[in-house]
Amino acid sequence: MLLGTLLAAAVMVGVVLWRVDDGIGTERIGFQDADVPLGMPAEGVVDFRFLFADGWREEVIPVALRFDPPMGSEDAGLVYNAQKFWEMNERRGGRHMGDDLNGIGGMNTDLGDPVFAVADGLVLYAGEPSPGWGNLVIAGHRTSDGRVLHSMYGHLQRIDVAVGALVPRGGKVGTVGTANGHYPAHLHFEMRVGTGVDVGAGYSLHPLNRLDPTATVEGLRNAEAEEISASPLALMLAEAADWTTLEIEGAEKLTELE
Ligand SMILES: [Zn+2]
């Protein structure tokens, strides 16, 4: 008798649960769940295609009046381009999205050579998105006509800047590397237009937001217009630690922290 009652009760509970599960009951998002943040992607890795520089960061991106090549001398001497932008690479099934810059010694003679920021900029990404990319840095620059461009430096042996840091033109962002031994040492260098901070792939059949890196840097050099060699931002950052007084030429000393 007792056993029969329990069995009947169990069947009823089972039917109720089954109907709830079958219907809208368990699918409905409850009141308490409405503002629960979305979970991480399945692998727990952020998809950088959806990472856009926020408004504050957009504003901090400095205006860059002059661009220089990222490796070798200021005039890209001592460097050759082993795989040019938009060259078809049958093995990788796409076109090259950047320039592969190498020291003229070839192979690993450029391992550890400095990689320079092409212009005054704000570091938007610094990390290792995958073993094949190795260490990678993306910096944002604002051109004199208001465009936001990104420079990207891939396969680095070492990263010397942090996200959020201002880097001057010619400032070291890292060193030439091999992407964990995947390649002979070289710098995979890209120039991009737009604000989405997406590492992306090194080969594609579509240009996406990539620009011809060498042509873009060449077009924005403005070297003749600027007589001094060092970036104004570089001078400012170098002197920032020593600012204890503020003097204006011809005026008396305004502030003295000491
Ligand atoms: Zn490359």
**pLDDT by 10s per residue, the chain, length 258:** 666 776 676 666 555 555 444 444 444 444 555 666 556 556 666 665 566 677 777 788 999 999 999 998 766 668 999 999 999 999 999 999 999 999 988 899 999 999 999 999 999 999 999 999 999 999 999 998 889 999 999 999 999 999 999 999 999 999 999 999 999 999 999 999 988 888 999 999 999 999 999 999 999 988 665 554 667 787 777 776 654 444 545 545 444 444
Residue 38: how many CB atoms within 10 A of its CB? 5
pLDDT for 59: 84
Dihedral of alpha carbons 221, 170, 189, 194, sign: negative
Residues around ligand 1, an ion, CB closer than 5 A = 100, 188
pLDDT for 27: 45
Which positions ≥6 away from 95 have C-beta within 8 Å?
86, 87, 88, 89, 203, 204, 205
CA of 100 to the centre of ligand 1 (A): 5
pTM of the model: 0.71
Name all domains of the chain by residue range, CATH numbers in brackets. Answer: 48-224 (2.70.70.10)
CA of 188 to the centre of ligand 1 (A): 4
CA of 190 to the centre of ligand 1 (A): 9
CA of 96 to the centre of ligand 1 (A): 6
Residue 116: how many CB atoms within 10 A of its CB? 20
CB-side neighbour CA atoms (13 Å) of 190: 29
CA of 33 to the centre of ligand 1 (A): 45
CA of 189 to the centre of ligand 1 (A): 7
